[in-house]
Amino acid sequence: MKFTERLKEKLEPIWRQNHSHPFVVEMGNGTLDKEKFRFYMVQDYVYLIDYAKLFSIGALKATDVKTMEKFAALLHGTLHEEMDLHRSYAAQFGISPEELENAEPSPITLAYTHYMLHKGQNGTLAELVAALLPCAWSYWEIGKELSQIPGATDHELYGEWVRMYSSEEFGQLATWCIDLMDELAEGKSDTELLELEKIFLNTTRFEYMFWDMAYNNQMWPGE
């Protein structure tokens, strides 16, 4: 069994919690409060700026050109296709590109991105991929799941989101991350694999906290 299959099977109950978070469910059935989505979109943009940097660190730590090319493609895809989605939503909400780029990160956004950047900067390439894998993989799965709900891809506000994350292009990027994780896990000791699993579990949990933060408009205490 592949390492990623084993990871997913072991963490299935925690993984499922992300998919059944009210933010995700309500985006799928179209009932999500627009203000919650607006808050999410701004935080997710700030998140993606740091997340994109992980791909640059990946290119730096890669030991062959093919892997460098994949990280470059992931960086490009994030900065252009994915963040274009956010810029287009921001325009609909009357948020300027400057305002979007300079938005204040929430405590959860900060904790999540800094955890990943810490692992990316100080860990092995395998640890970097373990940290970013739940992001790409869970969004692709959520996108595909929501796209099966009648009307979800045509929803006037959330349709674009569902189409982006269920798209073949996004799926290809997620598949690269999954395959790369399996390649990098090959020949690793049980101790190292356990460490990768711990990192994967932590960012899976951060994914849940990110949905929850957005659903509850959670900033710093008192704000």
Ligand X SMILES: Cc1ncc(CO)c(N)n1
Binding footprint of ligand X on the chain (CB under 6 A): 44, 47-48, 82, 135-136, 139, 207, 210
**Minimum gap (Å) between residue 61 Cβ and ligand X:** 20
Tell me whether residue 193 or residue 209 sits nearer to ligand X (CB atom): 209
Tell me whether residue 136 or residue 199 sits nearer to ligand X (CB atom): 136
SS (H, E, C) the chain: CCHHHHHHHHCHHHHHHHHCCHHHHHHHHCCCCHHHHHHHHHHHHHHHHHHHHHHHHHHHHCCCHHHHHHHHHHHHHHHHHHHHHHHHHHHHCCCCHHHHHCCCCCHHHHHHHHHHHHHHHHCCHHHHHHHHHHHHHHHHHHHHHHHCCCCHHHCCCCHHHHHHHHCHHHHHHHHHHHHHHHHHHCCCCHHHHHHHHHHHHHHHHHHHHHHHHHHCCCCCCCC
Active site residue 192: no
What the block records as the tokens of 11 is 């963490």
Tell me whether residue 26 or residue 192 sits nearer to ligand X (CB atom): 26
Tell me whether residue 115 or residue 188 sits nearer to ligand X (CB atom): 115
**Minimum gap (Å) between residue 110 Cβ and ligand X:** 12
Active-site annotation holder among 82, 141, 195, 207: 207
Chain residue whose CB lies nearest ligand X: 135
**Minimum gap (Å) between residue 8 Cβ and ligand X:** 16
**Minimum gap (Å) between residue 26 Cβ and ligand X:** 17
**Contact partners, residue 217, CB within 8 Å, separation at least 6:** 35, 36, 39
The residues annotated as belonging to the active site are 207
